[in-house]
Structure 1
């Protein structure tokens, strides 16, 4: 994917993610979403079990697995639909994608330029004092997006 297309896609995703912030609004209730919604609408475990095709004990296990984070998405979806809800699934970055990429590029550029600066100092050569300009130049000329995520 070309850099300009990737940047536009990154911007579109960042705009969508912004609507989800702050992320703590979506923190799971202590006993999980299934139990919280089921209790809030007055549905018993037996009633949910009947709708899902499971026993009341199976619903207890299902609620425990959700709270533990081990539930399968298709099981969670079936439970949501049985309570007339919709499962919404998303992977949301902690920061914007643009910030994530910029931070990683800066880390790599600084690491590379520090090695060069150290070598030049050992050889008693003049080190360029405008580090910020050097970092930006390095990012623009030497880094590609796919280089950012190689193990370092």
Structure 2
């Protein structure tokens, strides 16, 4: 049941992302969103500082923090609010979520079967390419359902 819920959740999220187009195209401007919007609004750093309740000398540091991706989310939200904007925080998957799960399962299956195949060769029990392909597909389907899909060999040593 939980597996079905995860798959449904992935599909709902994929649909939600697809309704908004390519969100990754909204990369921040070179100067950052704060500076770009502040300039477009004709707002000085002093104006923004007053509206945020900080000293004027903090504004360049806040803008630099955004450009360098070291700004705290709450500070970014306060700057957005001070400019009558909403902060929209989203992680945009590079591919569909189902595709990510399938790719990870395939990688895990291939890695696992490489080890098995190496041992089989040592024991003169090689499999044909067709058999290997079928084994990879079966194992990938199994891995897709496992809770430890994203766990690495390093994680298992703990």
Same fold by TM (over 0.5)? yes
Secondary structure of 1:146 counterpart: coil
Structure 1 gaps, min length 5: none
| Worse-superposed segment, 3-12 or 137-146 | 137-146
Show the counterpart of 2:147: 146
* Aligned CA distance change for structure 1 residues 137 and 65 (closer, same or farther; 3 Å): same
Question: What is the number of residues matched between the two proteins?
Answer: 151
Q: Distance in 1 between matches of 2:75 and 2:106?
A: 42
1:132 and 2:125 are equivalent in the alignment:
no
Q: Distance in 1 between matches of 2:49 and 2:120?
A: 71
1:19-61 alpha-carbon deviations (Å, 9 max, x no partner): 35251x2211122111000101111111111111122212122
1:28 and 2:43 are equivalent in the alignment:
no
Show the counterpart of 1:70: 70
Give the structure-1-normalised TM-score: 0.88
Q: Distance in 1 between matches of 2:79 and 2:16?
A: 26
Give the drift of 1:122: 2.5
Structure 2 gaps, min length 5: 154-158
RMSD, matched Cα: 1.9
Show the counterpart of 2:156: none
Contact 2:143 2:149 in 1 (8 A): no
